[in-house]
Structure 1
Amino acid sequence: MIQVFSEVPQGIQTAPHELRISAAGHQVAVREVDLTHVRDKDSLMMAFLSGLALTQSFGRNWDALYDVLTDPQQFSGRLAVVLCDYAHFKKKRANLCAEMDQVLLDAQSNAAEQGRLLWLLAEEPDRDTKHW
């Protein structure tokens, strides 16, 4: 298996199983954005505010999200944004997810131009625990 942090970030990738251990070994900061309860753009922006540990002054719009992710003052050279419950969110809120993806991918591209690395990782909850 390819070690995700050994490669240049490209698009939204599947999060590795030992995410935190792997990230620590590569000196990558990890922030988790939980998409489980997102219903609309407002709740999505609140998920980013919480997951990225932003201040209440965060503008809660696409431009503000882009600015935060591309600002070297906010995040130094190596950041992984983990999108928890991504596949379910994408299925449930396709239009909102498409907008979010575009902003994240644009930010990833801009970070690369600055010589910074921004991984976008999709993580799914463990659905192995079945209740019979």
Structure 2
Amino acid sequence: MSAQRFDLDLTRPSQSGVYFVGADDIDRLDRAATRDDLCVCRTDLAGCRDKDELLRRLVVSLQLPASFGYNWDALADCLRDLGWMPSWGYVLLFEHVDELREAAGADYDILLGMLDDAATFGEEHDRPWFAFLALPDSAFEPAHPPA
């Protein structure tokens, strides 16, 4: 995971991972992924304050199968194998992530771990797999500015 702002080559599985970006980067990443014929899934987490709401939103944005079990294990399995959305690579874009992070820190941490695991799995199988989480600009500023 990275807090750096830089351009990645979304076609390279070796760069797969979970990245923190500014809110203004999401549209640019969406355009780049679409240009490269990657499957793009956008999830807006505005007002999302717990695991249940997070899972409901992911069902819609990831078009999860009807058999989805609405639990962490089912989500982990689905993130590793997005086979119902055939593509040579995947880009997941999350907007307003800070709301979940502040309201349900443990759920946010579990989501990060699952995304990281799925990105590693994608890389190991030579498939681009990226998750970009948009945070407010204040999240990238130092906690204590230099004196």
Structure 1 match to 2:119: 108
Relative to the length of structure 2, the TM-score reads 0.73
Structure 2 match to 1:79: 90
CA contact (8 A) 1:30 1:79 kept: yes
CA contact (8 A) 2:96 2:134 kept: yes
How many Å separate the matches in 2 of 1:46 and 1:37? Answer: 12
How many Å separate the matches in 2 of 1:99 and 1:27? Answer: 29
CA contact (8 A) 2:47 2:99 kept: no
Offset of residue 70 of structure 1: 1.4
- Find the residue that maps to 1:11 and give its secondary structure: strand
How many Å separate the matches in 2 of 1:119 and 1:3? Answer: 13
What CA RMSD, in Å, does the superposition of the two structures yield over aligned residues? Answer: 2.3
Choose the corresponding residue for 2:132, options 118, 121, 127. 121
CA contact (8 A) 1:77 1:115 kept: no
CA contact (8 A) 1:20 1:30 kept: yes
- Does 1:20 find its partner at 2:27? no
Structure 1 gaps of 5+ residues are 126-132
- By relative contact order (CA 8 Å, sep 6+), the higher-ranking structure is 2
How many Å separate the matches in 2 of 1:118 and 1:69? Answer: 10
Structure 1 match to 2:42: 32
How many Å separate the matches in 2 of 1:50 and 1:78? Answer: 19
- Does 1:10 find its partner at 2:21? no
Identity level (%): 24
State how many pairs are aligned: 126
Structure 2 gaps of 5+ residues are 137-147
* Deviations 1:68-120 (CA, angstroms, capped at 9, x unpaired): 12115234321111111113321232111001111111111111111111111
